[in-house]
Amino acid sequence: MTEIPREEYILKCTSACAGCGDSLSLRYVLKAAGPDTVLVVPACCTSVIQGIYPNTAFNVPVYNVAFAAAAACASGMSAALRAAGKKTNVIAYAGDGGTVDIGIQALSGAFERGTDFLYICYDNEAYGNTGMQRSGATPLGARTTTTPGGKMQPKKDLDAIVAAHRPPYMATACPSYPRDLFQKVKKALSYRGPTFIHILSPCPPGWRFSTEKTVEMGKLAVRTGMWILYEREQGKVTINGPSKAAMVKPLPVGEYFRAQGRFKGISAETVARMVDDARALARRLQKEEEGIC
Amino acid sequence: MFEVRIHSRGGQGGVTAARLLALAAVRDGKYATAFPFYGAERRGAPVVSFVRIDDSPIRISSQIKKPDLVIVLDPSVMDVVDVLQGLRPGGRVLLNARERRDMKGYPTFTVDLTGIALREKLEVAGSPILNTPVLGALAKMGIVTMESAKSAITEMFSDPRNVSAAEAAYRELVA
Amino acid sequence: MLTVATGNKAVAAAVKEAAPAVVAAYPITPQTEIVEQIAEYVSSGELKSQYIPVESEHSAMAACIGASVTGARTFTATSSHGLHYMHEMVNWAAGARLPIVMANVNRALGPGWNIWAEHTDAFQERDSGWLQVYVGSVQEAFDAVLMAFCIAEDERVLLPVMVNLDGFLLSHTMQPLEVEKAGDFIPPLRLPHAIDPQEPCGYGTLTGPDEYFRLRWDIERSMRDAVDVIRGTQERFAERFGRKYGMVDEYRCDDAEVVVVAAGTLGREAEVAVDLLRNEGIRAGSMRIRWFRPFPRLDLSGRDVVVIDRDYSFGFGGVLAKSIAAKEGARPFSVIAGLGGQEVTYEDIAGFVRNRQPGRELWFGVNGDV
């Protein structure tokens, strides 16, 4: 079994909310990446979590950049470092808004150009930093401050968009499965070229659950089959253990929806639609894994 | 200051002719600028480009209103454009044509650039190249030296037929 | 070697001499020829740069920022709408104290679509913390790009520099060009705040009012120091290559009773107008604004001033005229001319001088008073 290093790169005194799924994710991302790493961070919760100038709670260089610019900035950084013969990991670490909405053009451009970097989208399914407005990644029916009656549209299929760029490696993850996340970051960084990890990042204030339940919420997402852990390596799909198990015997989805205030009052039809979508994705991935499509 | 206006159609090389003339003038030790009038560029549309030649640095960027010389690479533009507009008294005209034409009494020089290009098999995508042979005609008119004309052509184009076409135009220019 | 080249080709040739490690750019008329030529140099191996063909200008500047902060020399080029699409990152580059050099081919802003010369595009970036220089010839475009790297990368400055050249009037005009070998004219870049995983730092983290305020003052302090650096660099350039440049390019100003102030090709055309006026007995002179940021001091005492703006700040006035009025306490005759590539000849400029009305504003070719 892989040993997760003891070294910490997320130091004490971050400005994260209690129970933050993002800082938990980043902790394992950096343990996997190690000290020869630069983070490129657009406007998102992570810009705040670092702390306030002249202090920083992160023990790797962090280049903070404008909202739409993470992938492009990382492109330039990677090009310059490689030209100088350096192998430093360049990791763009962006929220869902900075990825699926305002940052999608730069993301697409960087992947199309074959930029040597890892792009991580930590997805708490809303604009958390500005106080929980809907993003393209907000799921159907979820209440946010700009969808007080529940979102009318389904979540944007970011993974399909990224997959269309055919990166050598992409994966989904969740900080409730730290070893899985750790290994995926290691694997992604072993490739040259653009790699991608999409982390579902439970968010107590945004999803409206109590702060001690972050890990549990991520596990519920996976065990109910509402979030599927898988990898796409050189085009080949592998569904990871916890999601394989969930596909055989999922927990009732109601446990996931009832545990979060953002889904309060959601209709049975809306839940059914989301479950249908999740099951359809599972079937598609299973077929891909078996090599049927 | 000697000012030249070149009339052609988009794709015929009028802009390159202007550049070649400027380069040849610089090789003669003079100062020169060449610039096109950029409109909505379309293949086949009438286009105008300009050349200024002087003994001192050229500080003027505005278009040439009163040229000393008008070059017409495509006589068909004369149906739609008044090529003589603003031509100075005593100004000259250089026409790509087989036969002489009266250009309202302005001293007119003719040379069959199209014929020369076809003879030399100087073509791009089926169109005869006019911008290198025209330099030979301009040398004959004394605008630039033939040596500099050839030098400019060789700097911009590697095909030796460009130079032989310019030499043909030098020989065949009719005053 | 003496050759004949367009302004765009001259910029690319200077970039080749400066050999930036990274060039990230996006095509836009009338700048495209610059990036095409650079891509050609990279492809042929004449220039050993990483060329990043980004998908937008916003990304072009973002990529330059990412590259620059590693300590790498970087260059990009743009124009008009491209400059404005990258506006957010233009400000970021200066705030991050990155010595990026950018060529901006001045072009009007839509609508309607207009590809011709105007300075409003770059003047709108005047408060960004970028140094800005405006050139008047193809040779000057080459020279200014070489010097821009020296000035931007000087540790007393460490701010980005924008080299401006008029769309078509310079970008597509062929003029004689002496392509100089830069050699060691541009010292190697040593960025004191380059990213180093051995010394982890947070860059651009959340910054409170007091610290932010101090960082802003640092930009202004460097902008003021830049005047000496510009002067020194231009002197060093003159010694080495023989061509002299100032903050302002003065022509026949010594005994002038009236001076024409303009930027770019209009400033060069104005010199011809000055000669014309002198022949008529009018003691005219010309001051061509080269450096717009930092803004130069002009010796205007006791003279009439005619300022030609190829730009406009709506509801306020010509940017140069108002800047000069504010900085020098002058009462210029403000002429707005050349917008969207409007043709302005030296004869027109001579007319502005003859018919000057200090304190008034004229929109050339338009019936002024509304």
Domain limits of chain A? 21-290
B118-121 LR contacts (CB < 8 Å, sep 24+):
B119/B168, B120/B161, B120/B164, B120/B165, B120/B168, B121/B161
Residue C368 has pLDDT above 60, yes or no: no
Using the Cβ of C195 and the Cβ atoms of chain A, whether some distance falls under 8 Å is answered with: yes
pLDDT in tens, B120-171: 999 888 889 999 999 999 999 999 999 999 999 999 999 999 999 999 999 9
Amino acid B40: pLDDT:
56
Compare C1 and B173 and report the one with higher pLDDT.
Answer: B173
CA dist B67 and B75 (Å) reads: 18
Using the Cβ of C65 and the Cβ atoms of chain A, whether some distance falls under 8 Å is answered with: yes
Distance from CA of B148 to the nearest CA of C (A): 13
Amino acid C370: pLDDT:
47
pLDDT in tens, C176-232: 999 999 999 999 999 999 999 999 999 999 999 999 999 999 999 999 999 999 999
Average predicted confidence (pLDDT) for chain C: 97
Amino acid C254: pLDDT:
96
Amino acid B13: pLDDT:
84
Distance from CA of C136 to the nearest CA of B (A): 8
Amino acid B126: pLDDT:
81
**Given an 8 Å threshold on Cβ–Cβ distance, is C172 in contact with B19?**
no
Confidence label for B10 from pLDDT (cuts 50, 70 and 90): confident
Contacts of A69 in chain C (CB under 8 A): 58-59, 62, 65, 88-89, 92
Contacts of B34 in chain C (CB under 8 A): 4, 173-174
The HSE-up count of residue C257 (CA atoms within 13 Å, CB side) is: 8
- Sign of the dihedral defined by the CA atoms of residues C169, C175, C179, C182, in that order: negative
Residue C344 has pLDDT above 50, yes or no: yes
Confidence label for C282 from pLDDT (cuts 50, 70 and 90): very high
**Given an 8 Å threshold on Cβ–Cβ distance, is A84 in contact with C204?**
no
pLDDT in tens, chain A (293 residues): 578 999 999 998 899 999 999 999 999 999 999 999 999 999 999 999 999 999 999 999 999 999 999 999 999 999 999 999 999 999 999 999 999 999 999 999 999 999 999 999 999 999 998 999 999 999 999 999 999 999 999 999 999 999 999 999 999 999 999 999 999 999 999 999 999 999 999 999 999 999 999 999 999 999 999 999 999 999 999 999 999 999 999 999 999 999 999 999 999 999 999 999 999 999 999 999 998 76
- In 3D, which of A266, A186, A192, A196 has the Cα closest to residue A226? A266
CA dist C330 and C312 (Å) reads: 18
| Contacts with C212 (C-beta within 8 Å, 6 or more apart), sequence order | none
* Whether C121 contacts C108, CB under 8 Å: yes
Please name the member of B23, B38, B59 whose beta carbon is closest to the beta carbon of C4.
Answer: B23
Which CATH architecture best describes the domain A21-290? 3-Layer(aba) Sandwich (3.40)
Question: From 3.40.50.10140, 3.30.230.10, 3.30.360.10, 3.40.50.920, which CATH number describes the C248-363 domain?
Answer: 3.40.50.920
Which CATH architecture best describes the domain C2-188+208-241? 3-Layer(aba) Sandwich (3.40)
Using the Cβ of C170 and the Cβ atoms of chain B, whether some distance falls under 8 Å is answered with: yes
Using the Cβ of C331 and the Cβ atoms of chain B, whether some distance falls under 8 Å is answered with: no
Give chains near C: 3+ CB pairs under 8 A. Answer: A, B
Q: Which of C137, C173, C249, C344 to mutate to test the interface with B (most CBs of B within 10 A)?
A: C173
% of chain C at pLDDT higher than 70: 99
| Contacts with A227 (C-beta within 8 Å, 6 or more apart), sequence order | A172, A174, A200, A218, A221
Amino acid A98: pLDDT:
97
**Given an 8 Å threshold on Cβ–Cβ distance, is A72 in contact with C59?**
yes
Average predicted confidence (pLDDT) for chain B: 93
State which residue of chain C sits closest to B49, comparing Cα positions.
Answer: C173
Assign C335 to helix, strand or coil: strand
As for the ipTM of the complex, it is 0.95
CA dist A107 and A92 (Å) reads: 10
The per-residue b/e assignment along A12-43, b for 16 or more CB within 10 angstroms, e otherwise, is: eebbbbebbbbbbbbbbbbbbbbeebbbbbbb
Cα–Cα distances (Å) from A280 to A174, A222, A226, B38, in that order, read 20, 15, 11, 56
Confidence label for C349 from pLDDT (cuts 50, 70 and 90): very high
Domain architecture of chain B: domains with CATH? 2-172 (3.40.920.10)
Our CA angle for A205, A207, A208, nearest 5°, is 60
Confidence label for B46 from pLDDT (cuts 50, 70 and 90): confident
Our CA angle for C29, C32, C33, nearest 5°, is 125
The HSE-up count of residue C210 (CA atoms within 13 Å, CB side) is: 3
The per-residue b/e assignment along A266-281, b for 16 or more CB within 10 angstroms, e otherwise, is: beeebbeebbebbeeb
CATH 3.40.50.920-classified regions of chain C: 248-363
Residue with tokens 């290559």: C241
Our CA angle for A23, A25, A29, nearest 5°, is 110
Please name the member of C136, C172, C176 whose beta carbon is closest to the beta carbon of B26.
Answer: C176
pLDDT in tens, C254-269: 999 999 999 999 999 9
* Whether C14 contacts C142, CB under 8 Å: yes
Which residues, numbered 32 to 91 in chain A, qualify as contacts with chain C under a Cβ-Cβ cut-off of 8 Å? 35-38, 40, 47-48, 50-56, 58-66, 68-69, 71-84, 88
Amino acid A13: pLDDT:
86
Alpha helices in A92-147 (DSSP H): 104-112
Residue with tokens 């492009």: A72
